[in-house]
Amino acid sequence: MRAVLQRVSFGKVTVDSQVVASIGKGLVILLGVGPEDTIAKTEELAEKCAQLRIFEDDAGKMNLSVLDVGGEAIVVSQFTLYADTSRGRRPSFVYAAKPEIAEPLVDVFAHKLRQLGLKTGQGVFGAHMMVDLCNDGPVTILLEV
């Protein structure tokens, strides 16, 4: 499982001209699921995302988590995080989990964030989404479990 965390001052996801999720300060999390991923891995990654200290304290040091700053999150499923570009010029996505595996794990991930106390919105699995955000810093972190 792979996640790209972007620390944002705002974020929103639009599907068919309808805003399906929006946040202020927090994280936009692009989540890729592999075929061997499990609920345990999913929950571990959610905990890591919620507790990762990438927000600045009063001294300007990254010592605070999104939970510490009262931030929010948006989870966006993104199978393209498993793109294989080792051959040719068109990416292959054979290493991404099939939708019947990925969709429930994306839901588990978002649910775990909520259980940890993080207000969490989601994109729409499998939809063409427009993701709008202002990356704060910029801070972008790649996590993999």
- Residue 51 has what pLDDT? 98
CB count within 10 Å of CB 77 equals: 26
> pLDDT tens digit string along 12-37?
999 999 999 999 999 999 999 999 99
Query: What per-residue confidence (pLDDT) applies to 23?
Result: 98
Four-way CATH pick for 2-136: 3.40.50.720, 3.50.80.10, 3.30.160.60, 3.30.565.10: 3.50.80.10
Catalytic residue among 79, 109, 120, 122: 79
Question: Which of the following is catalytic: 38, 51, 80, 140?
Answer: 80
- Residue 109: name the closest of 89, 96, 125 by CA: 125
Spans of all domains in the chain: 2-136
Q: d(Cα 128, Cα 37) in Å, to the nearest integer?
A: 24
Told to judge if 6 belongs to the known catalytic residues of this protein, a careful annotator would answer no
Cα–Cα distances in Å, from 38 out to 43, 55, 91, 132, 144? Answer: 9, 29, 25, 29, 13
Give pTM, 2 decimals: 0.97
3-state secondary structure of 142: strand
Known catalytic residue: 125?
A: no
Find the length of the chain: 145
What's the whole-number mean pLDDT along residues 37-61? Answer: 98
Q: Which residue among 42, 78, 120, 122 is the active-site one?
A: 78
**Cα separation, 98 vs 125, whole angstroms:** 12
